[in-house]
Amino acid sequence: MSATKSIILNHQEIHHKIRRIAYQIYENNANETEVVLAGIESNGFIMAKKLKTILSKISPINPILCKVIIDKKNPRNPITTSLDSSEYANKSVVLIDDVLDSGSTLIYGVKHFLDVPLKQFKTAILVNRNHKKYPVKADFKGISLSTSLQEHINVVLEGHKFEAVLE
């Protein structure tokens, strides 16, 4: 890890990125009455809650929150969701996380949802690091950032000061 820290997204920029992603989700689901916002615990779910608030204000779409619990250290372990699979079957689903690093968390999250017939499936990421080991992409992303493998991105979405920091 490098000794220096640099803020790559400040509080206002994170709000702007999340708002822009909400508009993209709306545009992509303009003909839907509902969309499932499946946020990966913990920052992905916080992001999903913020997207739900914005979508509720800017569109007639009913956003449904779903918490996705994945063991990020061992993503092949069983994945659970706060909704029963029947509640997102044949619906438009957006899987949400804060950082797309190697892609392992996202690909196993995608795999979980593929066991159920869906109308549409997309992914939303705040920071895309471009270090993917798996063939997974962010359909909606706040920022793409080329980083070294030694660097780490820490995203803080709780409290009154959101930030994304490159360490």
What is the tens place of the pLDDT at every residue in 113-139?
A: 999 999 999 999 999 987 778 888 899
Question: What is the C-alpha separation between 110 and 95, in angstroms, rounded?
Answer: 8
Is residue 1, in this structure, part of any structural domain at all? no
Residue 2 has pLDDT above 50, yes or no: no
Amino acid sitting at position 130: N
Give me the pLDDT at residue 136, please.
87
Return the C-alpha torsion angle 69, 16, 9, 133, nearest 10. 50
Q: CA end-to-end span of the chain, whole Å?
A: 7
Question: What is the C-alpha separation between 78 and 111, in angstroms, rounded?
Answer: 11
Is residue 143, in this structure, part of any structural domain at all? yes
Give me the pLDDT at residue 1, please.
44
Report, as an integer, the average pLDDT of 70-91: 93
Give me the pLDDT at residue 3, please.
59
How does pLDDT run across 141-160, given as a tens digit for each residue? Answer: 999 988 887 888 999 998 88
Angle among Cα 151, 152, 154 to the nearest 5 degrees reads: 150
Report, as an integer, the average pLDDT of 35-52: 97
Q: Give the mean pLDDT of the chain.
A: 92
Is residue 127, in this structure, part of any structural domain at all? yes
CA dist list (Å): 95 to 56, 59, 100: 18, 19, 12
CATH at 80: 3.40.50.2020
Return the C-alpha torsion angle 76, 77, 81, 86, nearest 10. 70
Is residue 47, in this structure, part of any structural domain at all? yes
**pLDDT: is 101 or 31 the higher one?**
31
Least reliable range by pLDDT among 39-48, 85-94, 134-143: 134-143
Report, as an integer, the average pLDDT of 92-106: 93
Kindly tell me the sign of the dihedral angle through the C-alpha atoms of 134, 135, 141, 145.
positive
What total number of domains does the chain contain? Answer: 1
Domain range for residue 94? 6-166
Is residue 28, in this structure, part of any structural domain at all? yes
Is residue 29, in this structure, part of any structural domain at all? yes
For residue 114, give the 3-state DSSP assignment: coil
The whole-model pTM stands at 0.94
Is residue 39, in this structure, part of any structural domain at all? yes
Is residue 44, in this structure, part of any structural domain at all? yes
